[in-house]
Amino acid sequence: QQTIKLTAAGGHPPVFLWVKLLDEFYIPEVDKRLAAAGGKHKVEWTKAWGGTLIKIGAESKGISDGVADFGFVGTLFEAAKFPMQNVSYVAPFGTDNLGAVGSIVADMQKKIPAMGDTWTKNGLVYLGGTALDTYHLWTNFPVKSIDDLKGKKISAPGPSANWVKNTGAVAVAGSLPTYYEDIKSGVSNGAITFSTGAWGAKLHEVAPYVTKVNFGSMYAGAVVMNKRRFDSLPPEVQQVFREVGLEYDKRFAEAQRSTADALLQKMAAAGATVSELPAAERQRWADTIPNVAQTWATDLQGKGAPGTEILKAYMEGLKKSGAQLPRDWSVK
Amino acid sequence: MNLSTPGTGGAASRVDAAPQDAYNLPLPFGLHRLTQALNALGTLMIIGLMLLINADIVGRTGFDAPVRGVTELVSLSIVGIVFLQLADTLRCGRFTRADMLLDGLKRDRPVLAARLQALYHLLGALLMAVILWAAWPSLTESIASREYVGALGDFTAPVWPVRLMMLVGLSVTALTFVLLAVIDLQRGQRLAAKREHKR
Amino acid sequence: MSATTVAVLSLVLMLLLIWGGLHVAVVLGLVSFVGVWIIRDDIGVAANLLAQASSDAIASHIFGVVPLFVLTGFLVARADIGKDAFEVANQLFRRLRGGLGVATVASNAVFAAITGISIASAAVFTRVAVPQMMRFGYQPKFAVGVVAGSSVLGMLIPPSLLMILYGFLANQSVGDLFTAGIVPGLLLASAFAIGIVLAAYFKPSMVYAGGEMPVPDGEDMSPLTMALKLVPIVLMIGGVLGGLYGGLFTATEAGAVGAALALLIAVLRRKLTARSFWEVLTETGHVTVAVSFLIICASIYTRMLAMSGMPQFLMELISHAGFGPFAFLLVYVFIIILLGTVIDSSSILLIVLPLMLPIAEQFGMNLIWFGVVTVVAVEIGLLTPPFGLSAYVVKSSLNDPRITLGDIFRGTGPFTLIMVAVLLLLMAFPALSLVLL
Ligand code: NA
Ligand code: NA
């Protein structure tokens, strides 16, 4: 029997589903399948979640440097290294079907070499990807129309700041853990985020008006292994890692989606007012904000990457999935 | 019963008997001017942070016009500040350590104390060299990949200046550690010579 | 050599080198470097880990404002705002034994309401309170002990960085956690105050430099003088607290506002020249850097431990040991305090909670109360050697060679014991944490 020592790590703690599923599904499943295959190989795991070994935003470097061998890379937090994987954030008002976003991006990574190669170029092997459930709006005032946002401060950091531009609202910086206090103290009047995150931050307590804007599911990151380490593994072990990766994708999409729906209901049961933004208002909103996707594509083209092609492919994928798209960002 | 101010006895005897350590002395080749200059740059960045955050608060609450990117700039610049000021902090003897053993040695075996300090400073230089060795590529990578913080279309700032500050800070700190060790060894020699002379 | 053996050996080596007088940060960095090198048998990985921690361990918004909190404290000291406040306190409390110690604890409790991190409290009060206590005849070791000890209030009384982190990991309401911290925070502050008064009565040599309480001398200040002396501090605290709770700025931003206010007051009182302002700034930089570099190297050590798998192994051991609820809680708290001797506060939460929370839930424990117990236990680590961050912050802020690190740890000793006693109370009576909910 050959023992393979692997260190698994991630910047987020296991309360986040993408890490929880690594801990509770991916790793045990690999062990199980290796044992079932005759037990010729056995993995001895060291696990370090929650940034105890590698921090959010430095996960790809940590794994490619070999500080960890295997883990989750949040592309959302490494936009400069994975610009192409962040296409969903510049093309909001997509779909609430997170499985679709996951498979659209996975598909693009296969068909557009530049996009798939990002992983190998960073010294990583891609094993499976995940998307976050669709983004909505949590506020301490009712929102029936985009006009209600005038003069309000909304916690919307990073790429989501662009989603409130020109709406009359002011984007305020922050991060999931700070929203609660920021809204409670009045530094902001609401936040744009995803349901599973909002539940963790208990946003509905301070921002009880939940408006389902459906900014769309966002591609968030991937399970990866250090490339040198992966290449050194026996082919049958590599195969197991790839297979479990595909299964992880599926399980993640199912679990995250059902959890998101259930959590919105729980928030309503806890006294929050959950309402859907009317389609006409969603259309107005999408028409109001600037087309950052074009800036993004131009920037990528300037760096020699196929930004325009990726944007087109993503919008095509969304259309094929049957999503209601108020705006096609690939059109200038 | 501890009636006296702790350490006063030690301080008093240190004045006449025990030699001072290498801290707060000018460095060879006037290199303390370099550490001080880097330190001043870091200091200006601290004032910058104060002004930036206050401008954001005033802009946000008074004029619905927040300063974009403050969060990102704050988290980025603290790294720059720390590495820019690292060497001067060391030169002024502000790296925290337990002085029990060394204080005793300085009284009873001053030559040994000086040589031990030299060893410690060389170990510090070694640590800096290790980090420097591994951190070196981060600058070129950062420039090549045009690494930035923030988000396209909103606010972006390049990361490479901070990577550069880190490398410069580490190099100068490594150098400072080496020079402190040299001063320690010189002091050790002097003390040894004095001891010979007394005999 | 097994990874766990490396972890244990690293601990022994670390203690030895710190005692030997090698700079604490250098010890942590080098020991971890060698540890990772042995665990992975790859010197490149070891060096990469160090480089990565150097660039990302302190790269956060919350940490970025630390220099501003330090600057606030130094300006308050330079502008004599703190001195005036303490003169008034001394006047009011001079017949109470240990009065200035009690005043320091009380002002720390107030300051805790504007800061979410204990480093800030420790830095500010080292500059403001320690010189004043020494001026009025207090034992230096006692003065630094009070400051380091009561700095833990910074993360118990809301706002609190540790509570926010716990709330996230345990999926509990941060608001509820904040509320739950109020009574335990005040309880701890009172326990510190009572401890100080008792010590001043029964063991005055511990408190006073002369071995006895100095006989109050000098003329009494008139109420008007006292009021005038208090104006600046009231303006400062009122401005920051008001802005914070009025929704103008966040607890993170409070440091920048405090620094600006203190600067304004110092200039108006003509206590600051361009030159002395520059000195204060340089000093601020040196203290911030000394502490930050320690935190970077502590983070390196924590990563080495995480890589060794030892914390994980410990946690799994407990979760499979089959303890009853009470035994579990005792062992849990004991392990946290043990980890707290060498690991920084947030890392402990991140290491311990994922495996321990499900067990606490199984026992049907109230997770808000469990959070308060956890935070207090974690904070004990701020005071315990060899890696006691609050003591280190006091040491670098003070910059007085007469007061050694050992003196500071000895000075905080009684406060650590009081914390343990309060922790046991909180464990035995969950109502203390839950009464306001
Ligand atoms: Na606080
Ligand atoms: Na400690």
pLDDT per residue over C296-315, tens digit each? 888 898 889 888 888 778 77
Q: Which residues contact A328 (CB under 8 A, 6 or more apart)?
A: A315
DSSP label at residue C403: S
Q: Which residue has the higher pLDDT, B107 or B180?
A: B180
Q: In angstroms, what is the span from residue C154 Cα to ligand 1's centroid?
A: 4
What does the alpha-carbon distance between residue C52 and residue A245 come to, in Å, rounded to a whole number? Answer: 27
Does residue A81 belong to the interface with chain C, where contact is any CB pair within 8 Å? no
User: Which ligand is nearest to the Cα of residue C252, counting in written order?
Assistant: 1
Does residue A158 belong to the interface with chain B, where contact is any CB pair within 8 Å? yes
**Mean pLDDT throughout C139-162?**
88
**Mean pLDDT throughout A76-81?**
87
Contacts of B150 in chain A (CB under 8 A): 158
Number of H helices, E strands in chain B: 6, 2
Tokens 């060790």 correspond to B181
Inform me whether the pLDDT recorded for B27 exceeds 80.
Answer: yes
Q: Where are the alpha helices (DSSP H) in C58-173?
A: 61-64, 66-78, 81-93, 99-112, 118-135, 140-151, 161-170
**Mean pLDDT throughout C323-330?**
88
Per-residue pLDDT, C216: 65
Distance from CA of B186 to the nearest CA of C (A): 19
Q: Which residue has the higher pLDDT, A328 or C120?
A: A328
Q: pLDDT category, C253, cuts 50, 70, 90?
A: confident
Note if the bond before C386 is cis, omega within 30 degrees.
yes
Q: pLDDT category, A283, cuts 50, 70, 90?
A: very high
Which of C117, C6, C15, C120 lies closest to C384, judged by CA? C15
Residue C138, helix vs strand vs coil:
strand
**Chains contacting chain B through 3 or more C-beta pairs under 8 A:** A, C
Establish how many alpha carbons lie within 13 A of residue C390's alpha carbon, considering only the half-sphere containing its beta carbon: 35
Residue C208, helix vs strand vs coil:
strand
Q: How far is CA A230 from CA A70, A96, A249, C73, C301, in A?
A: 9, 34, 19, 52, 27
**Mean pLDDT throughout C184-213?**
89
Q: How far is CA A281 from CA A143, A147, A214, A292, C55, in A?
A: 10, 9, 12, 20, 44
Chain C nearest-CA residue for A204: C173
pLDDT digits (tens, 9 = 90+) for A162-195: 999 899 898 888 888 788 888 987 888 999 999 9
What does the alpha-carbon distance between residue C28 and residue C318 come to, in Å, rounded to a whole number? Answer: 27
- The ipTM estimated for the assembled molecules is 0.88
Question: Would you say A33 and A42 are in contact if contact means Cβ atoms under 8 Å apart?
Answer: no
Per-residue pLDDT, B18: 55
- Dihedral (C-alpha) A27, A29, A33, A39: value to the nearest 10 degrees? 50
Inform me whether the pLDDT recorded for B164 exceeds 50.
Answer: yes
Least confident of A213-217, C34-38, C172-176, C188-192: C172-176
**Mean pLDDT throughout B137-165?**
87
Supply the pTM of this predicted model: 0.87
Per-residue pLDDT, C424: 95
pLDDT digits (tens, 9 = 90+) for C411-434: 999 999 999 999 999 999 999 999
Bridge-based pairing of strands A273-276 and B148-151 is: unpaired
The per-residue pLDDT of chain A, averaged, comes to 91
Per-residue pLDDT, C14: 85
Q: In angstroms, what is the span from residue C383 Cα to ligand 2's centroid?
A: 5
Does residue C42 belong to the interface with chain A, where contact is any CB pair within 8 Å? yes
Q: pLDDT category, B6, cuts 50, 70, 90?
A: very low
pLDDT digits (tens, 9 = 90+) for A96-152: 998 899 999 999 999 999 999 999 999 999 999 889 999 999 999 999 999 999 988
φ, ψ of residue A96 in degrees (nearest 5): -90, 5
Inform me whether the pLDDT recorded for A16 exceeds 60.
Answer: yes
Inform me whether the pLDDT recorded for B9 exceeds 50.
Answer: no
Inform me whether the pLDDT recorded for A281 exceeds 50.
Answer: yes
Inform me whether the pLDDT recorded for A88 exceeds 80.
Answer: yes
**Mean pLDDT throughout C362-376?**
92
**Mean pLDDT throughout A24-51?**
91
Q: Which residue has the higher pLDDT, A191 or C229?
A: A191
HEC string of chain A? CEEEEEEEECCCCCCCHHHHHHHHHHHHHHHHHHHHCCCCEEEEEEEECCCCCCCCCCHHHHHHHCCCCEEEEEHHHCCCCCCHHHHHHHCCCCCCCHHHHHHHHHHHHHHCHHHHHHHHHCCEEEEEEEEECCEEEEECCCCCCHHHHCCCEEECCHHHHHHHCCCCCEEECCCHHHHHHHHHHCCCCEEEEEHHHHHHCCHHHHCCEEEECCCCCEEEEEEEEEHHHHHCCCHHHHHHHHHHHHHHHHHHHHHHHHHHHHHHHHHHHCCCEEEECCHHHHHHHHHHCCCHHHHHHHHHHHCCCCHHHHHHHHHHHHHHCCCCCCCCCCCC
User: Which ligand is nearest to the Cα of residue C378, counting in written order?
Assistant: 2
The per-residue pLDDT of chain C, averaged, comes to 86
Note if the bond before C159 is cis, omega within 30 degrees.
yes
**Mean pLDDT throughout C48-60?**
90
Per-residue pLDDT, C217: 65
Per-residue pLDDT, A92: 94
- A72, β-bridge pairs: A223
Question: Would you say A214 and A282 are in contact if contact means Cβ atoms under 8 Å apart?
Answer: yes
Does residue C52 belong to the interface with chain A, where contact is any CB pair within 8 Å? yes
Inform me whether the pLDDT recorded for B14 exceeds 60.
Answer: no
Question: Would you say B54 and C256 are in contact if contact means Cβ atoms under 8 Å apart?
Answer: yes
What does the alpha-carbon distance between residue C397 and residue C52 come to, in Å, rounded to a whole number? Answer: 27
Q: Report the percent of chain C where pLDDT is more than 70.
A: 99
